[in-house]
Structure 1
Amino acid sequence: MSDAPPQGDAADAFAARARADYGESIRDLVVFGDAVRGDDRGVHTSVEVLLVLMEADEEIERRLEALAETVGLEHGVVFSVHVLPADRFDAQSDHPFIRTALEDGRSYV
């Protein structure tokens, strides 16, 4: 048995820290993936994050990706962060990837 925190905690931790540090820049934050669905079977756990920023900002994007890496190391999971500016998200809202994230994921913002 591992002493690592549950993977769901990793998603919660990432969302809380992202909102605290960059909340004014984030329009939507949706976490999805095998750990969130509960079908991770304890191996190769991944948490996917769809972040929609109010506007494109490469510096904030890099910082959020670094935060995801840090939280992932703390919780023993791998984060995949997908960042879109709001206008691109709105224009592609019918894309299968976006639909899946919104339907299967947990929204934090």
Structure 2
Amino acid sequence: MSDDAPQGDAADAFAARAQTDHGESIRELVVFGDAVRGDDRGVHTSVEVLLVLAETDEEIERQLDVLAETIGLEHGVVFSVHVLPAERFEAQSDHPFIRTALEEGHSYV
């Protein structure tokens, strides 16, 4: 782990690996949070991830959580992964959490 690894690199690494491993299932992948905004102040850096999957799949969700933990350890950040099935995402697109993620975040998919 590098103490000076930019948090953007962690988000990029997570997005790239998630797309490589599960790209066919991912409909949206948006990273947001204090590290992405540049508001991390060097402590308790977190990267929030909103992942929209084509359908509910507990095994893929588990694998994405493990990936987030692995990348987080490599880059010294904490990932919080929020997974929604596409149907729920579309039905609740006006929810404040979803709006914030889409407005403030960086979309990879």
Q: TM-score range by the shorter chain?
A: over 0.9
Give distance in 1, aligned partners of 2:69 and 2:3: 19
Corresponding residue number in structure 2 for 1:108: 108
Give distance in 2, aligned partners of 1:4 and 1:51: 27
Residue 9 of structure 1, CA deviation:
0.4
Corresponding residue number in structure 2 for 1:24: 24
Is structure 2 residue 36 aligned with structure 1 residue 36?
yes
Report the 3-state secondary structure (helix = DSSP H, G, I; strand = E; otherwise coil) of the residue aligned with 1:49: strand
Gaps of 5+ in 1: none
Kindly report structure 1 stretches of 4+ aligned residues shifted beyond 6 Å: none
Is structure 2 residue 26 aligned with structure 1 residue 8?
no
Is structure 2 residue 48 aligned with structure 1 residue 48?
yes
Residue 4 of structure 1, CA deviation:
3.3
CA RMSD of aligned residues (A): 0.9
The percentage of counterpart residues that share the same residue type is 85
Corresponding residue number in structure 2 for 1:84: 84
TM-score by length of 1: 0.97
Give distance in 2, aligned partners of 1:15 and 1:67: 10
Report the 3-state secondary structure (helix = DSSP H, G, I; strand = E; otherwise coil) of the residue aligned with 1:24: coil
Give distance in 1, aligned partners of 2:4 and 2:52: 29
Corresponding residue number in structure 1 for 2:96: 96
Give distance in 1, aligned partners of 2:15 and 2:89: 19
Residue 95 of structure 1, CA deviation:
0.3
Report the 3-state secondary structure (helix = DSSP H, G, I; strand = E; otherwise coil) of the residue aligned with 1:97: helix
Q: Deviations over 1:15-59 (max 9, x none)?
A: 000000000000000000000000101110000000000011010
> Aligned letter for 2:104?
D
Counterpart contact for 2:32–2:101, Cα < 8 Å: yes
